[in-house]
Amino acid sequence: MSRLGVPITLWRVIFVFVLSIIIQPVLPVNSAPPDKTVVGSELQKKKVGQDKEKEVQDNRKSSDILRFSVIWILCMFVGFLIWKIVPKHKPWLKPLTPKEEEEDSAIQIDARSSPTRDTLVAAALEWQDRYRVSPINLSVIAALDAALLIGMSEEHYSLHMRNKKFMESKDINFFFEKKSFIVKASRQAALVPKAQHLEWDEIVFILYDARYDILGAWQMSREAYMTQCYHKERLSVEDYKTGQKLVLEAE
C-alpha cells in the first residue's frame, strides 16, 4: 500500500497507461508487407496506398478513443482521490477562532424553545411569586429541555413520552438515536445531583437560575461519568463541565 492507501499494483497499471499514451505517437505504425503479386501494377499500388492510408486513419481513431478513455479514467480516479483526501473543512477558507468554534458547535436554546414549556414556566413563576414555593418538579422541565438540546423535536418527544413500552423504563428519561438518556438538573450550583444507577448510555446535566432559564448544560457518556464523577461522594458543576457543552454559559 502507498501512503494514500492505494495498492502499489494499481499505481503500476496507471503508470503503464500514461507511458503508453506518451510514447505511442512516437512509435511507427506497423504496416503489412507489400503484396508481391501487385508490385508491378500502378493501379494496385495506388489501391494499396489508399488501403494503408485508411488503415492509418483507423489506427489513429482507435488510438484517440483509447487515449480519451484512459484520460477519462484517470480524471475520475484523481477526482475520487481528491474527494477522499481533501479535508471537509476547506482549509483554504479563513479558520475559525476557538471562540467561534465553541459558539458554532453549541446549540442555542432560543432556537429550540417550546410554547408549552413557556406557558408552564410562566404559571409556575406566578405561583412561586405568590406562594413562595414552586408547584412543578424541576426534572419535568429538565427532561424536555435536554431532549430539545440534543436534537429531538417537541413533537417527537411528545410521542415518545406517550409510548407505553417506554413508560416501563421508569429510571430512563427518554431514548434517542438508540441511546438511553437520564437527566439531572439543579437551580443551585451548590446542589448537584448524582446518578442513582448506571443503566443508561448518556447523562445530561442542566443548571438553571431561579427563573428556570438555562445557565449551562452538559452531556456525558457513561464511561466518562464513571471516570470523572462516579467515585466522588459529592459532585460540583465543574465535574459535569468535563462533558460536552450543549449551550453557551450565561455571562
Indicate whether 152 belongs to any domain.
yes
Contact 205, 224 (CB under 8 A): no
Cell of 208: 438553571
pLDDT 10s digits, 80-112: 776 666 554 444 445 556 555 554 444 444 445
Indicate whether 95 belongs to any domain.
no
Crossing angle of the two packed helices 8-23 and 42-85, in degrees rounded to 10 = 140
Shared domain check, 118 and 181: yes
Shared domain check, 233 and 121: yes
Q: pTM here? A: 0.54
Name the average pLDDT for the chain.
75
Indicate whether 222 belongs to any domain.
yes
Question: Does residue 177 come out as left (phi exceeding 0), alpha (psi in the -120 to 50 range) or beta?
Answer: left
pLDDT 10s digits, 179-226: 999 999 998 877 788 898 899 999 999 999 988 999 999 999 999 999
pLDDT 10s digits, 129-186: 999 888 888 888 999 999 999 999 888 988 888 875 655 556 789 999 889 999 999 9
- Domains identified in the chain, total number: 2
**What amino acid is encoded at 74 in this protein?**
L
Shared domain check, 155 and 126: yes
Indicate whether 27 belongs to any domain.
yes
SS3 154: helix
Contact 207, 216 (CB under 8 A): yes
Shared domain check, 152 and 110: yes
Please, what is the Cα angle at 235 between 117 and 105, to 5 degrees? Answer: 55
Shared domain check, 183 and 116: yes
* Domain interval for residue 129: 104-247
**What amino acid is encoded at 13 in this protein?**
V
Shared domain check, 112 and 74: no
Residue entry with cell 449551562: 216
Shared domain check, 114 and 232: yes
Shared domain check, 14 and 118: no
SS3 197: coil
Shared domain check, 150 and 65: no
| H helical segments located in 110-206 | 115-131, 138-149, 154-161, 164-167
Indicate whether 96 belongs to any domain.
no
Domain boundary among the residues 41, 57, 85 is at 85
